[in-house]
Amino acid sequence: MDVQHADSFYLGQVDWLTEKMRNNNFTVSSMHGDMPQKERDAIMGEFQSGTTRVLITTDVWARGLDVQQVFLVINYDLPNNRELYIHRIGRSGRFGRKGVAINFVRSDDIKILRDMEQYYSTQIDEMPMNVVDLI
């Protein structure tokens, strides 16, 4: 997939997931690199103020933004770049707080996940299916 088609694919995923969550009565915002900076700033303002508790975004948000109240990052798709993965999950647990990262992993992502575990000398545990019962 070339870069232009990849960008369109991910923008489509952001829009699709945003619509699905809104249809299920979640208050969400979405953001991607094709938006004007003014619009992205407004969306970030909503998220930082707590007006929106869920922000769906492409990797435009993986680096350089420090928001204190982010405690959960969900990787809808697993990046195949180690550095990008660390930047994504690093959005949670900032400023000395604890954070959680959840990865949606398809069977063809297992090799990438194992590579990251080996490279970072860590173990990424599988989430139990009854996670709601554990809360």
Q: CB-based burial of residue 47 (10 Å sphere; 0-12 exposed, 13-18 middle, 19+ buried)?
A: buried
- To the nearest 10°, report the CA torsion of 50, 96, 121, 107: -10
Q: What does the H/E/C string look like for 27-69?
A: CEEEECCCCCHHHHHHHHHHHHHCCCCEEEECHHHCCCCCCCC
Looking at residue 130, the DSSP 8-state letter turns out to be T
3-state secondary structure of 100: strand
| CB-CB contact of 57 with 14 (8 Å) | yes
Q: Would you state the pLDDT for residue 113?
A: 93
Domains and CATH numbers, the chain: 1-55 (no CATH), 62-127 (3.40.50.300)
User: Each residue's pLDDT tens digit in the chain (135 positions)?
Assistant: 433 434 455 567 888 888 999 999 988 888 887 889 899 889 888 888 888 888 888 776 666 666 767 778 888 888 888 888 888 887 777 667 788 888 888 899 999 999 999 999 999 988 877 766 655
3-state secondary structure at position 102: strand
Give the pLDDT confidence score for residue 83 in this predicted structure.
87
Whole-model pTM?
0.70
Query: Could you please report the per-residue DSSP string of 66-84?
Result: --TT--EEEESS--S-HHH
Output the pLDDT for position 70: 76
According to the model, what pLDDT value does residue 131 have? 64
Please report the sign of the dihedral spanned by the C-alpha atoms of residue 110, residue 64, residue 8, residue 55: positive
